[in-house]
Amino acid sequence: MNLRIRPIRIEDAGAIHAIRLQDAVLPQVLTLPSERPETFVERLQHTGERSHQLVAERDGKVIGWAGLERFPGRMGHAAELFIMLDGEHHGAGVGTALLEKLLELADLWLMLERVELYVLATNPRAQRLYERLGFTVEGREHGSVVSCGRYTDAILMARLRPGGLLVRDQRAPAVPEVGRAPTSEDGSPPEAIVVRPVTDLDAAAVHAIRLQESVLPFTLALPSQTLESFRAHLAQLGPSEHTFVAERAQRVVGYAGLKRFPGRLEHGADLFVMVDERQHGTGVGTALVGKLLELADQWLMLERVQLGVLVTNPRAQALYARLGFAVEGLRRGAVVSRGHYVDEVRMARLRPGGVLDVAARGASGALDGAE
């Protein structure tokens, strides 16, 4: 029986959707059992140019699906990989064939410096396959995925392009970038900090902060971003996005937010924060992150809040550590900053007294950690 690897077609949607809902597949992916076939067809129809998807076909039947989703902007040298196989063909070499084809695409045609993926801790067979193909573990997200009624760890793995720049260690050293020291015009105590929800009227002030010389390197923004595009971004914020600004003397001096994940990740959110370079070290970041964690704990009841911080920003990492965040992993060379590939530290905070926190302390078996 010949195995054929080919680009996906819209008419494959029905077969792939059926694979996604199989008992042997569903627990290991992020699909919900309530996913409608029409929803998946619509997803395929809106696939963008950064998405590269293949199927495995045997005797005219689709038995596997995999793809690369290339990141945008300053992470455009990397992509996230996904794969799923018909349960009847596990262990038959289909996964290897799909992955080898995707890695050939990544190495020889897209020249990606890194390919990363997540695999649940309850799927050791898949992890061994990824290791055979050059992936190594970079981190572990504690209880980040709901699977079969349990919070399950997700393992972050990555493969660097053989002979590529990251393999040759062309990454920025973990040396702090020098930012501006906080200044005071008259030596008087700083004004009180007011944290409030962002409004459309804040767009210009926040956009100016994002492009400051001591702020831009630590974000994912590009110096070419226009004010109009940022206004559009604010206008399109959805109900899962919660954003605040910090004001001092009626001037916006910081911007931060939480973006709640969907579906089986809904008990978690991603956090970001940026502070006017003239206000670094004056408590603005602490006030913003504190407000977001209050929202996460007391109003959204999130079990985990996660974030990424560049290794060149140890001051921010120290702030997050003081507020209860712990390191979960290191994404090698994940972000371009000032002409270098820079490592990103992945950190997370579990809600104090929550299910994940209690399980992590050994007081409950609710957290599904190892196989």
> In the chain, where are the structural domains located?
3-160, 193-368
Within this chain, domains 3-160 and 193-368 share the same CATH topology: yes
Q: What is the largest CA-CA distance in the chain?
A: 80
Please say if the pLDDT value at position 72 is more than 80: yes
pLDDT band at residue 360 using 50, 70 and 90 as cut-offs: confident
Give CA–CA dist 37/20, Å, rounded: 10
Q: Give the model's confidence band at 161: pLDDT under 50 very low, under 70 low, under 90 confident, else very high.
A: very high
pLDDT score at 169? 72
In this predicted structure, the answer to whether residue 365 has a pLDDT above a threshold of 50 is no
Q: For the chain, what percent of residues have pLDDT higher than 90?
A: 86
Q: What's the pLDDT at 368?
A: 57
Structural tokens at position 214: 């001591």
Domain range 193-368, CATH architecture: 3-Layer(aba) Sandwich (3.40)
pLDDT in tens, 14-32: 999 999 999 999 999 999 9
Helices 227-235 and 203-210, axial angle in degrees (round to 10): 120
3-state secondary structure of 251: strand
Tell me the mean pLDDT in the region 248-267.
Answer: 97
pLDDT at 267: 98
Query: 363: which 2 tokens?
Result: 């007081």
The percentage of the chain sitting over the pLDDT mark of 70, rounded to a whole number, equals 92
Confidence of residue 362 (pLDDT cuts 50, 70, 90): confident
What is the fold, at CATH topology level, of the domain defined by 3-160?
A: Aminopeptidase (3.40.630)
N-term to C-term CA, the chain: 33
pLDDT digits (tens, 9 = 90+) for 307-354: 999 999 999 999 999 999 999 999 999 999 999 999 999 999 999 999
| Res 189: pLDDT | 60
